[in-house]
Amino acid sequence: MTELATREQAFGLVAEGVAAGLSAPWRLYLARGCRYLSLNVGDRAEWDAWRTHLNCPELSVRVYDAGGEIRRCSLAEIVLDGCRISVELVEEISTDDLERLLVADPTGTEPEER
């Protein structure tokens, strides 16, 4: 597949998703000279929708400190016809979000006492 065909395919996948009702990615990066397409989306619902549309499994989630702000980066990725496609979501989270990750039952319901 030539670079032009890869670019047409990549943009075709995005156009199909938008035509199907998905929100357009806020950032689209198509690497020059290689087969890599990166979609950045604005929220978890968009991330899930694009991940489902492209049939990407969740690949990784990392949490990091960005100058005093805590951010979570969710990345899903798939390889189609030799082109690596990733869907990325970067969210600012609070320490409350981190504390919920440590709780076994996030609903907070206690078992009944007998």
Q: 0.75 cut: is pTM over it?
A: no
Over the stretch 88-108, which tens digit does the pLDDT of each residue have? 998 887 766 666 656 655 455
The span from the CA of 105 to the CA of 40, in Å, is 31
Strands (DSSP E) along the chain, which ranges?
27-30, 36-41, 58-66, 69-80, 83-93
Over the stretch 6-17, which tens digit does the pLDDT of each residue have? 677 777 888 899
Of residues 2, 3, 30, 1, the one with CA closest to residue 15:
30
Of residues 25, 6, 14, the one with CA closest to residue 53:
14
- Domains in the chain, ordered, with CATH? 3-102 (3.30.460)
The span from the CA of 111 to the CA of 95, in Å, is 26
Tokens in use for 102? 């440590």
